[in-house]
Structure 1
Amino acid sequence: MIKACLLLIAGGIAAQHSRVAPESDLCLFAFVASFLLLISLRTRPAGWLLLGATLFVVAGVRITDKHLDAMFAGDSLLTQVRVVDFPRRSGAAVLMQIAPLDDRRLPPLVRVAWYDAPARPSIGDVWELEVRLKRPRGDSNPGLFDFEAWLFRQRINATGYVVNGTRNRLLATRRATRVDLLRLDFVAAARDAARTAESGAVTAAVGVGVRQAITREQWQRYARTGTSHLMAISGLHIGLAATAAGLLSSLVLGVMRVGTGQYVTAIIIAAAVACAYAVISGLAVPAQRAALMLVIAGITVIRRRQIDAFRILALAAAGIFVTQPVATMAPGYHLSFAAVALLLWLAVRKAQQPLATGPTLRIVNGARQLVAMQVFLLFGLMPLTALFFQRIAFLAVPTNLLAVPLFSIVTVPCTLAGLALLKVWAPAADVLLGLAAHSIDILEKLITQLLRLPVTAGRVAKIEGVIWLVLFLPALWALLPRGWPGRRVALLAVPLLLMQSPARPAANCVDAHVLDVGQGLAIVLQTANTAIAYDTGASFRNGGSMAERVVVPFLQSRGIEHIDQLIVSHADNDHSGGVELIDAELRVAQMLLGEPLRAPAPLGAPCRAGDSWQADGVRFRLLHPPATARLSGNNASCVLLVSTGRHQLLLTGDIEVAAERDLLRRRALRAVDVVVVPHHGSLTSSSAAFVQQLKPRVAIVSAGFANRWGLPKEIVIDRWAAVGSTILNTAEAGAVSLSLCADGGIRKLRSDRDERRRFWHASSEQVGQ
């Protein structure tokens, strides 16, 4: 049974790598074939694998088939919608999920941003809104978060924004299900009972799974201390609710002297409460897993059959996969089941050990087991946490040793009791929720103190090559019994994981990455021992920046913690919006500026034509602006020429025709191998003489998809194509990466969107203009 469940899930995970969805006839054939394979014992494993793959693909195609029709992409649509999830504020914007009411132009589920909203929308509100939508699409950068995959597994069929104006109006409130209204009331009660906004947000998450109010800074603290799992409703919450329901029902039935079936009735009530609470909590994967395991265990007890816990866990994992195949794409699915499997494995090992005698020995032994459990989970889950989050939280052991008992004894029981009493005894519920919030305040203070320690978490760079084998060694240390030969050697994997970094370029070579940062520019250059960042992308009015979302995570994934030069071509936001963050997050040795930046951005030296330096056989030379010039705006952009022998790469910022003419007049240019097209392909740049002089083999445009300026302009693209250039646009190709070497020119020219394409990723034609 366990083998069948694992093979079924493995088939679904394998199907996640499919680049093209098969036709419906082929899916039907695969279904029939899988059931035929299941008939024979010899072919049964293949049947389970094929069935799992087919289930995932069919579920995925059903989601993509409901995406926004491309003919409506970019149009302003006035429609009536209902808010179907708790909105989340992000800076000046409110992010919310809406479902249309009787409007066939719109898909079933849409995610929109409403900037400067006149009112705070709430779940259950009915609005008439003017929206502008597109099919799901996200940035595409090597090794970084796949937003489009997240939209896919959330079953979101379109994204966009609300067009501000007088046409937007609220039509009704509280038009939600009874469950959602209960969650809404609980969130309000938790907020009112808490002393701080942070504890109120966590109480809402612990009680009913509403996590939208937890701030980005809170999530970062929880990630660094390994306590993020406490914010998810899982076995602890479901188990306490079911236990309380079972005990209370058993007590009531005992008082009523219901002899026959009392035990069975109590089990049924406990299972029903577990399922009900899972629904109230939003049906996240950990809650589903806990409820499903309780139901399966209850059925086996009622039927007086024995089934080990590992089989129950496998059945729960397979059950969730069959009903929601795309759930296997979420890190939470794998972490939830892996954590329970590890705890069960630990329990089996502990059961084989002799029990301690005497109260003192039992207390000491219990304390040791609590510490051992946290260490066991840290190492056992290390492969998954390193793979999904590129982080090892060393503070997880001491923090959880204090936080888990606090949550188990105070936070969760008080929260559940407050939820149960919310509609029947509001004053008591308020007191209980206040106690829960106070315990969370204590946890926040504890985390703050622990984060002051010199070592809190280790970052894991992108995993390549033999490091994939090293990744799983810490789990082997946790799983193997004591005394196993070479067991302790597996611990050496931890420093190896932290010290490893992706392969660096050879001498006389430079790696260039033109990142996908929407309508902006951010480039990373790397030699054997140095790293240069050229521009940082934009910052957003709703908070955050492309540096936070793309540039810094990319640098960290490459194992880069030190920037030798940060070159900011000029002061426009789409080029300089992330300077402060990069300066704060990474060690920047030197900053070069095309023009002064607005405070509070850090100061830097001016770019001056003629300045040059060399690193690892690669020469870097600034061509513009001239030291004596007094330029501002686009024509102040730093122009950088990167040379490896006879092969060259030119970075142009946003220079316009005037700067291009100056470069030509000074004879600063010659033919190059690669050019980043100036000013995102605008008509203000890429003059015919400039293009003719460069004649690059590859011309790269950094532009946002379907941007409002219509860049790059077709006439500009035609000019570059006319001189024989291969043109790559980040709006369509995602991040563009290449290596330029003295002995071979361009190597490894890659488009990230093409390399990581899956069948749910939209092509440019599908998304529409």
Structure 2
Amino acid sequence: MDKWLLLFFLGAILSLFLPIVPALFYIVLLLSLAAALIFTKKLTYISGFLLGSAWILFNGFTYQHSFTANQLDKNNLHRSTHFIEGEILTLQNDELQKINKAILTTNHQYDPIKPQRFNIKITYFDYIKMSHPFVVRLNCKVSCLRIKQGFKVRLKVRLKPAHGFANKGAFNYQVWLRYKNIVATGYVVKSKSNNVIALEPSFRQKRYDQLMKILSTKTSSSSPLSSLVFALTLGERSNISVQQWQVLKATGTQHLIAISGLHLGLVASGMFVLALFILRYLPLSWFNTLQNSNYIQKGNLIYIAITLSLCITLYYAALAGFAIPTLRALVMLVFYWLARLLAIKLTLKRWLLLVVFWVLLTSPMSILSASFWLSFYAVSVIFLLLWRCFSIINSTKTSHKTIYKIITFFKALIILQLGLSVLLLPITLLFYQQFSVLAFAANVIAVPWMSFTAIPLSLLAVIVLPFSGSLASYILDLCLQFLAWLWQWLSFLAQQEWALQTLTNGQVLLAILLVFALFSYYFLRLKRQYYLYFLPIVGVILINAFATQNKWWQVTVLDVGHGLAVIIERAGHVIVYDTGANYPSGFNFADAAILPYLQQRNIKQIDKVIISHNDNDHLGGLAVLAQKIPISSIMFNEPNVIVEMGGGEHNNNVLNNNVFSNTQQQTCLQGQRFSWQGLTFEQLWPTLIQGDHNDDSCVIRISDGNTSILFTGDASKKVERQLLKMGLIEQTDVIIAPHHGSKSASSAKFLQTLQPQYAIFSSGYLNRWHMPVNKVLLTYHQQGIKTYNTADVGMVEIKFLDDVIKLSTYRNDHLNYWFAN
């Protein structure tokens, strides 16, 4: 059975490496073949592999055909507004009493509150009942209904199929949407028809509102940590600030505020011990009138304790909304307790494989999440360490039982935390390319501290909350105080500049090899000669990393929607051309795309930022970028321009001069040029600043003497004609298409003169301007130019070496798997 379960897991993993989901016919064929092989003795195990593959692919197929199953046209979804009805699935932050008053006693259902994001399960779409209800994620930008989790609402919305930006090193939103089974995203359109049709909040929302009412009155220095209480009790992490996330990330303690195995394990074991203690010392003579009092006294207390432990664990999981990480931990505990109750002998290996099998059956897309791999890998590592280090942990020589237990506890704690810090590196680096140097120092204190203070206190507060608000408030005060003391230690560690380290791809591979060699030596006891096989692999990695580092140069057009952000790189130095947009919600492409890419490349400084012109979709990320990474110089024709925010609205905040006090500022005017890392930057436009934003764009040609690339910003056909007239346009290998493919640019004569091989369009997915315009694309194709649109292929990477140009895209070459596209 173990082999069958293992092959099922292996089949599920390998199914992820296909570029597309096969047609339903082939998936059914796989399922049929798996069913047939179950009855053949020699090939029974192969059926597990086929079933695992078919199950994941079937769920991928149903996700991709969610609209087809409801007879909806996915391709035309974005072309018009729609009326939907459904149930709110996401906890909402507001006081329930104010909501009810606003909705029930007035005619004003809107309130100018900060933008809300929520998931909704749609049951009616354009007044037609859906045979297969589906989940979408909505954003309310201007004004929203005051809603709560569990409310049923009717809304007017605009939707797009699920999509995310595709850049190296950045958060993959599209994979996250698939993992959450969200098939579309969009926003609420203001309309009188928007209303709440059922006002009953969910169980979790009621607890959330009660907690919010109490915690909002706290004024102590520890009150900012209230957001962590919501995470520990309800699994709600949206209130955690950016600064708090940075501390958790730098110290490797994010897992402590995600309700998972540690939390449920503590609750289950704590409740089991407490119940057993109470039952053993309870005067059972009180229950002599009960027929089963003798049964209770005859050694069956353990079964009652297990049952109570399961009940309280289920309650905790319900508070967390049965989120996928919580469900994984719950399944582990249920399998363990059931084996104890039913006296089933279950090996550790089978227990883990059964849990993985059940999790993949009930939540197949959880295999896409980092938490899935980290949780199961961490559990495996813990048991391996306990097995391998058993003699060390129990080697204490003392006759005093209490001292023996204390020393054994601290030995186990140090060994487990040190082992986890090292052995979890491969998974951590593969997903994030970062690791916390201080993870051991943070967790060796934080894990036991949280286990004995904050976690049980926060859960106890929620349990007593419905019965006594004052008692719950007192317990929460204690919880916040314990969190505050721990937070001082974590904040101190996070302030160390070297706390969080980012590695390049080559360094990640070397680190993984090193950890694997260490694991092999300590756990597998391989002979020394086997380690010689690692040397050729290390040699290949080093040669690949450094052989051509100083020869080639590359241009990376990031996927930033309707905007532009390009990184020019050579020998570990970079220049950034434009910085993408910055929106009123706080979302910006400096944080979302540029900085993650630079971190992934281990770039610590930007030599120069060139801003083509002062539109938000080109300039917006500059201020954020300057605050978070040193910039040596800025080339921009309007250094004091007001930063444009989303929707064409202007913010009155001028670029902070303090940020740029040590930054050299230059202008981009025709006739100027400069050299950088052996490349020549020739400025072709403008001749002077005329206040015409698009046509003031900084047009630059970059050349290494053999190959070249042209940056045009949002320059129009008018500029193209002027450049042609001045004789400044010559053959160029690559062009960043002017104005995102607008019909106002890219004239046929301009392209005929340039004769580029490739043209890159940086545009938004299903954008309202329909860029790049079909007519413009036709013009490029008629010239024999290969075109790439970041909305379709994601980030575009162009490498230049002598006269060779190598172009690759994120979706087609770097992450060419069905679940990411």
TM-score for both structures, normalised by structure 1: 0.90
Alignment of 1:603-752 (within 5 A): 604-626=665-687, 629-744=689-804, 746-750=805-809, 752=811
Does residue 383 in structure 1 map to residue 426 in structure 2?
yes
In terms of mean alpha carbon deviation, does 475-484 or 104-113 score higher? 475-484
SS in 2 for 1:715: helix
SS in 2 for 1:157: strand
Which residue matches 2:438? 395
Q: How many residue pairs are counted as aligned between the two chains?
A: 756
Does residue 577 in structure 1 map to residue 620 in structure 2?
yes
Shift of 1:153: 1.1
The 1:643/1:600 distance shift into structure 2, 3 A limit, reads same
Contact 2:793 2:810 in 1 (8 A): yes
SS in 1 for 2:579: coil
2:785 is matched by which residue type in structure 1?
S
Distance in 2 (CA, whole Å) between partners of 1:646 and 1:484 is 51
Distance in 2 (CA, whole Å) between partners of 1:213 and 1:231 is 12
Q: 1:420 aligns with which of 460, 463, 476?
A: 463
Distance in 2 (CA, whole Å) between partners of 1:355 and 1:751 is 53
Does residue 758 in structure 1 map to residue 796 in structure 2?
no
Contact 1:179 1:280 in 2 (8 A): yes
Does residue 342 in structure 1 map to residue 381 in structure 2?
yes
Alignment of 1:124-139 (within 5 A): 124-139=150-165
1:25 is matched by which residue type in structure 2?
F
Q: 1:85 aligns with which of 81, 90, 94?
A: 90
Shift of 1:139: 1.3
Contact 1:143 1:462 in 2 (8 A): no
The 1:294/1:490 distance shift into structure 2, 3 A limit, reads farther
Q: 1:259 aligns with which of 283, 297, 310?
A: 297
Which residue matches 1:230? 256
Shift of 1:272: 3.4
Does residue 537 in structure 1 map to residue 580 in structure 2?
yes
Which residue matches 2:239? 213
Distance in 1 (CA, whole Å) between partners of 2:548 and 2:718 is 36
The 1:712/1:299 distance shift into structure 2, 3 A limit, reads closer
SS in 1 for 2:435: strand
The 1:236/1:754 distance shift into structure 2, 3 A limit, reads closer
SS in 1 for 2:90: coil
In terms of mean alpha carbon deviation, does 219-228 or 245-254 score higher? 245-254
Which residue matches 1:525? 568
Deviations 1:160-219 (A, max 9, x none): 00112433333443343x455445544554555684564221111111212221123322
Distance in 2 (CA, whole Å) between partners of 1:658 and 1:197 is 58
Does residue 548 in structure 1 map to residue 591 in structure 2?
yes
The 1:193/1:3 distance shift into structure 2, 3 A limit, reads farther
Contact 1:297 1:312 in 2 (8 A): yes
Distance in 1 (CA, whole Å) between partners of 2:422 and 2:543 is 18
Shift of 1:378: 0.6
SS in 2 for 1:133: strand
1:205 is matched by which residue type in structure 2?
A
Comparing both chains, which one has the higher relative contact order based on Cα–Cα distances under 8 Å and sequence gaps of 6 or more? 1
Distance in 1 (CA, whole Å) between partners of 2:114 and 2:506 is 37
Distance in 2 (CA, whole Å) between partners of 1:185 and 1:651 is 56
Which residue matches 1:7? 7
Which residue matches 1:52? 52
Shift of 1:647: 2.5
Q: 2:183 aligns with which of 137, 146, 157?
A: 157
Distance in 2 (CA, whole Å) between partners of 1:616 and 1:51 is 54
Q: How large is the RMSD of aligned CA atoms in angstroms? A: 3.3
Which residue matches 1:468? 509
Sequence identity of aligned pairs in percent?
A: 27
Shift of 1:386: 0.8
The 1:385/1:752 distance shift into structure 2, 3 A limit, reads same
2:479 is matched by which residue type in structure 1?
A
Which residue matches 1:76? 81
Distance in 2 (CA, whole Å) between partners of 1:610 and 1:508 is 28
Distance in 1 (CA, whole Å) between partners of 2:144 and 2:336 is 50
The 1:520/1:666 distance shift into structure 2, 3 A limit, reads same
Which residue matches 1:355? 395
Which residue matches 1:95? 117
Distance in 1 (CA, whole Å) between partners of 2:808 and 2:442 is 45
Structure 1 residue runs of 5 or longer lacking an equivalent are: 763-769
Deviations 1:336-365 (A, max 9, x none): 111111111111123234531235676556
Distance in 2 (CA, whole Å) between partners of 1:454 and 1:220 is 12
2:34 is matched by which residue type in structure 1?
S
The 1:730/1:573 distance shift into structure 2, 3 A limit, reads same
Shift of 1:728: 1.7
The 1:752/1:59 distance shift into structure 2, 3 A limit, reads closer
Contact 1:78 1:131 in 2 (8 A): yes
Distance in 2 (CA, whole Å) between partners of 1:43 and 1:88 is 54
Distance in 2 (CA, whole Å) between partners of 1:395 and 1:751 is 33
Contact 2:169 2:599 in 1 (8 A): no
In terms of mean alpha carbon deviation, does 479-488 or 687-696 score higher? 479-488
Which residue matches 2:24? 24
TM-score for both structures, normalised by structure 2: 0.85
SS in 2 for 1:213: coil
Distance in 2 (CA, whole Å) between partners of 1:452 and 1:519 is 36
Does residue 481 in structure 1 map to residue 522 in structure 2?
yes
Distance in 2 (CA, whole Å) between partners of 1:673 and 1:51 is 49
In terms of mean alpha carbon deviation, does 554-563 or 514-523 score higher? 554-563
Distance in 2 (CA, whole Å) between partners of 1:88 and 1:471 is 42
Structure 2 residue runs of 5 or longer lacking an equivalent are: 95-111, 288-292, 643-653
SS in 2 for 1:352: helix
Distance in 1 (CA, whole Å) between partners of 2:579 and 2:229 is 37
Which residue matches 1:767? none
Deviations 1:627-659 (A, max 9, x none): x55555122211111113343210111112332
Distance in 2 (CA, whole Å) between partners of 1:651 and 1:443 is 51
1:69 is matched by which residue type in structure 2?
D
2:37 is matched by which residue type in structure 1?
L
In terms of mean alpha carbon deviation, does 325-334 or 643-652 score higher? 643-652
Contact 1:83 1:96 in 2 (8 A): yes
Shift of 1:503: 6.3
The 1:198/1:16 distance shift into structure 2, 3 A limit, reads farther
Q: 2:346 aligns with which of 300, 307, 318?
A: 307
Deviations 1:444-475 (A, max 9, x none): 222222222242111122359xx536414325
Which residue matches 1:766? none
Distance in 2 (CA, whole Å) between partners of 1:704 and 1:430 is 48
SS in 2 for 1:152: helix
Contact 2:92 2:205 in 1 (8 A): no
Which residue matches 1:283? 322
1:259 is matched by which residue type in structure 2?
Q
The 1:355/1:345 distance shift into structure 2, 3 A limit, reads same
Contact 1:619 1:644 in 2 (8 A): yes
Deviations 1:542-596 (A, max 9, x none): 1020111111111222232222221111111100111122223333222211432
The 1:35/1:270 distance shift into structure 2, 3 A limit, reads same
Contact 1:376 1:478 in 2 (8 A): no
